[in-house]
Amino acid sequence: MKQSQLFAKARREAPADEVSKNAQLLIRAGYVHKEMAGVYSYLPLGKRVLEKIERIVREEMDAIGGQEIRMATLHPSEPWKQTGAWDKVDVVFKINSRTEKEYTIGQSEEEIVTPIAQEYVNSYRDLPLAVYQIGQKYRDELRAKSGIMRGREFTMKDMYSFHETQEDFDRFYEGAKQAYLRVYRRVGLVAKATEASGGSFTNKLSYEFMVLTDAGEDDILYCSECPYCVNVEISDQKEGDACTRCGKGTLSRAKASEVGNIFDLGTKYPTDFSFTYKDRAGKDQKPIMGCFGIGITRLMGVVVETFADDKGIVWPEGVAPFAAHLVSLGKPSDDVSKLASGFYTELLEKGIEVLYDDRDLRPGEKFAESDLLGIPKRIVVGKDATGSGVFELVDRKTGTVEKIERDELIARFARHG
RNA sequence: CGGGACGUGGUGUAGCGGUAGCACGCGACCUUUGGGAGGUUGUAGCCCGAGUUCGAGUCUCGGCGUCCCGACCA
């Protein structure tokens, strides 16, 4: 993509009405546009980042047998009344039509997915089943905060699974937990599987996936030696206590942001909807159900919070909007510009995702903006490149500068694909 | 929802009862080109509504909006 054609331009100053690092940087750099408190639109660069995250999530969900669907976001009120959530869950938006019919917009989708599964799961032969979607969720939060990390509208991957037995559920649950940890790793983050409350409809524990960040709104205790991690809201332990899990480490307390949550829902929803299937003996049974969420937009915010430095955003390679930022220091149609344009075409032909800064601006401005955008690698084409054919490769994270010959540079990006 | 702060051109801000100013951006022209250049010129603004006052961006009240702390958080 040519930067001269990118309609969302970076600004020099952060918006005055945002305090959170993620919102300040994402707005400044032109990734998102705020519509109102807790609601953001995603512009070309932001959309690309979301798609990167979504692709990783999709691959990992597919790998554990998830089937992707797309459920409605405008919901009838009836199933929500049937499960009790209409009255019990206070973040449910309630909408009235012109004819006074009541609707809601999805803040989660058990009320929709359970009847869908009920329609097609008639026999034990149809189980297990796992379906998921990536889509918008709406919650009537009393207070939106922290930029894109806690909004009233956000993107979530939500998966729902149905099982014959607790053993089968446990097997799938463990597989999902591992898949989640792979997702976060690929996104570039370290997430801790944290023991937490199961929410209002189950008294079982759940796992929350927590990334340590001061921008987070949860507090967790985690062991210095083993993976044990617990949300302080359900823990009687305190910082400095010995870890009861491994017996070796001590517990530290830290702020963290929840980027995923997996639940054992038991038979709550099948019960509410009278959803049964025939087991091997021909008897009616209720499936055991699980729910598995990942906050896609929140994940993006946490990545910004985690890696940004004083110059701007720093994207890990896995989620960057582009693999390379090609910055030409040439003037319109001079030799430097021609060289850069030729190289841009070649990168495109090799399938390398590149943002090409072809604008006629001063170098300082281009570098500052490049730093702000946070693309992992910057290729600078200046005067010296016209004779030598050697380009400059700058690492956004470390600032390391390498002089690399043209073909080697292409080969390097092609390898990372 | 309780508490607090704040709403001035597209963006960031100054103005504290008496002619709304600056910077950036954007348009035009000239010079400049390896870390956010300089000059000339143009462009564009007081959230909404009442009230106090000779006079309100400024004071009072009421809305609306945004952020922060708390509460809440499938």
Question: What value of ipTM does the predicted structure carry?
Answer: 0.96
Distance CA A49, CA A53 (A): 6
Mean pLDDT of A254-259: 96
End-to-end Cα separation, chain A, in angstroms: 17
Secondary structure element (H or E) that encloses residue A392, with its range:
strand A390-395
Can you tell me whether residue A348 is helix, strand or coil? helix
pLDDT at A127: 98
- Please determine whether the domains at A12-307 and A324-416 fall in the same fold group of CATH: no
Mean pLDDT of A407-414: 94
Distance measured from the CA of protein residue A327 to the C1' of nucleotide B25, in angstroms: 22
pLDDT at A353: 98
* A385 closest-nt by C1' vs CA: B34
Mean pLDDT of A7-33: 96
Q: Is-contact A288 A267, C-beta < 8 A?
A: yes
Distance measured from the CA of protein residue A90 to the C1' of nucleotide B24, in angstroms: 44
Question: What is the percent of chain A where pLDDT is above 70?
Answer: 99
Backbone angles phi, psi at A365, to 5 degrees: -65, -40
* A202 closest-nt by C1' vs CA: B74
Whether the per-residue pLDDT at A417 is higher than 60: the answer is no
Distance CA A363, CA A380 (A): 10
Give the CATH number of domain A324-416. Answer: 3.40.50.800
DSSP code of A121?
Answer: -
Q: Which residue is nearest to nucleotide B25 (CA to C1')?
A: A11
Can you tell me whether residue A269 is helix, strand or coil? helix
Mean pLDDT of A402-416: 92
pLDDT at A389: 87
Phi-psi region of A189 (alpha: psi -120 to 50; beta: other; left: phi over 0): beta
pLDDT at A203: 66
Which bases in strand B are touched by protein, i.e. have an atom under 7 Å from a CB? Answer: 1-2, 8, 11-13, 24-25, 32-37, 65-74
pLDDT tens, A113-133? 999 999 999 999 999 999 999
CA dihedral A252, A256, A258, A260 (to 10 degrees): -60
CATH class assigned to A12-307:
alpha beta
Distance measured from the CA of protein residue A307 to the C1' of nucleotide B15, in angstroms: 39
pLDDT tens, A326-360? 999 999 999 999 999 999 999 999 999 999 999 99
Q: Which residue is nearest to nucleotide B1 (CA to C1')?
A: A142
Task: Collect all residues with Cβ–Cβ distance below 8 Å to A143 and sequence separation of at least 6.
Answer: none
Secondary structure element (H or E) that encloses residue A23, with its range:
helix A21-28
Alpha-carbon distances of A304 from A56, A163, A178, A207, A358, rounded to whole Å:
17, 37, 24, 24, 26
Task: Give residue limits of the domains in chain A.
Answer: 12-307, 324-416
pLDDT at A197: 86
Q: Is-contact A327 A364, C-beta < 8 A?
A: no
- pTM of the predicted structure, to 2 decimals: 0.97
Whether the per-residue pLDDT at A281 is higher than 90: the answer is yes
pLDDT at A199: 67
Mean pLDDT of A61-85: 97
* A362 closest-nt by C1' vs CA: B33
* A13 closest-nt by C1' vs CA: B12
CB-hemisphere CA count at 13 Å for A271? Answer: 8
Distance measured from the CA of protein residue A140 to the C1' of nucleotide B63, in angstroms: 22
pLDDT tens, A368-393? 999 999 999 999 999 999 988 899 99
